């Protein structure tokens, strides 16, 4: 409420991209329950505002495609997809514990564990007020979970990708290494591609550019940031057409 006027969320349907590392908190490996509870309570808060939420989760807290040095790249990537599934089930469990209805859909069929990804069913779940978690990336090696977020956003007509990171915005270099790193509040897709900024891989960025999907990059460190992002507050870095 501001000046007696109820504030409305800026977005009706969003994709929240959570990295695996975000779920590990300071432990840097596996799932840190208090961290996941904190993220899920933020998700619950925006869910209760009526926002339709789909989540794409990474798996880097268990395994990254590039962890498999010397391994066959496809095999390493498939192992990463299984890691995203562990995280999806962990998120589902905590959200359900908070009375948020959730459906997990996997891009690789494992139907004893969760339902397979079916676009129309995912959209129906959103319309029926359920959070949908997309697991197993795109189901293909050589594609990242950022690319999954871009693909699913295009498929389900999400208005924006909320790219929650451990860093609060996009910089021209790593601010932890370079104290003079320049912080961006707005960028075009082409800036990201031309400058080789490490915010998303080029496949994900191009997919967003071609389908006009804005990406808001922000830090998960601030406990209200998902809510602030949904309300349209100017936080982090917005990547869009300029």
- Which residues contact ligand GTP by CB under 6 A? 103, 111-116, 124, 128
At 95, which helix (H) or strand (E)? helix 73-97
Distance of CA 219 to the CA centre of its chain: 12
* Contact between residue 103 and residue 125 where contact means Cβ atoms under 8 Å apart: yes
Give the nearer residue to ligand GTP in terms of CB position, either 25 or 90.
Answer: 90
Give the nearer residue to ligand GTP in terms of CB position, either 125 or 165.
Answer: 125
Q: How far is the CB of 217 from ligand GTP (least distance, A)?
A: 30
Cα(90)–Cα(102) distance, rounded to whole angstroms?
12
Give the nearer residue to ligand GTP in terms of CB position, either 105 or 145.
Answer: 105
Q: How far is the CB of 106 from ligand GTP (least distance, A)?
A: 9
DSSP state of 182: P
Q: How many angstroms separate the Cα of 190 from the Cα of each of 92, 148, 164, 186?
A: 36, 20, 21, 12
Q: How far is the CB of 122 from ligand GTP (least distance, A)?
A: 10
* Contact between residue 107 and residue 136 where contact means Cβ atoms under 8 Å apart: yes
Nearest residue to ligand GTP, using CB?
115
Q: How far is the CB of 184 from ligand GTP (least distance, A)?
A: 39
Reading the block at residue 4, the tokens are 């007696």
Give the nearer residue to ligand GTP in terms of CB position, either 112 or 194.
Answer: 112
Phi, psi of 79, rounded to the nearest 5 degrees: -60, -40
Q: How far is the CB of 101 from ligand GTP (least distance, A)?
A: 8
Give the nearer residue to ligand GTP in terms of CB position, either 103 or 165.
Answer: 103
């Amino acid at each position: 409420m501001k000046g007696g006027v109820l504030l409305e969320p800026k977005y009706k349907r969003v994709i929240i991209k959570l990295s695996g590392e975000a779920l590990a908190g300071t432990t840097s490996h596996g799932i840190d329950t208090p961290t996941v509870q904190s993220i899920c309570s933020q998700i619950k808060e925006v869910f209760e505002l009526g926002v339709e939420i789909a989540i794409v989760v990474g798996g880097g807290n268990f395994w990254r495609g590039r962890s498999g040095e010397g391994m066959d790249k496809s095999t390493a990537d498939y192992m990463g997809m299984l890691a995203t599934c562990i995280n999806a089930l962990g998120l589902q469990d905590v959200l359900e514990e908070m009375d948020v209805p959730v459906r997990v859909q996997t891009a690789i069929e494992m139907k004893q564990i969760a339902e397979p990804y079916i676009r129309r069913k995912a959209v129906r779940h959103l319309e029926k007020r359920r959070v949908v978690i997309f697991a197993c990336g795109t189901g293909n090696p050589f594609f990242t979970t950022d690319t999954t977020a871009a693909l699913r956003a295009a498929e389900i007509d999400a208005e924006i990708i909320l790219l929650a990171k451990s860093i609060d915005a996009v910089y021209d270099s790593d601010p932890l290494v370079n104290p003079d790193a320049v912080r961006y509040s707005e960028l075009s897709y082409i800036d990201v591609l031309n400058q080789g900024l490490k915010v998303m891989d080029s496949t994900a960025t191009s997919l967003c550019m071609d389908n006009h999907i804005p990406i808001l990059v922000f830090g998960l460190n601030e406990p209200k940031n998902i809510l602030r992002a949904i309300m349209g507050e100017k936080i982090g870095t917005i990547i869009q057409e300029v």
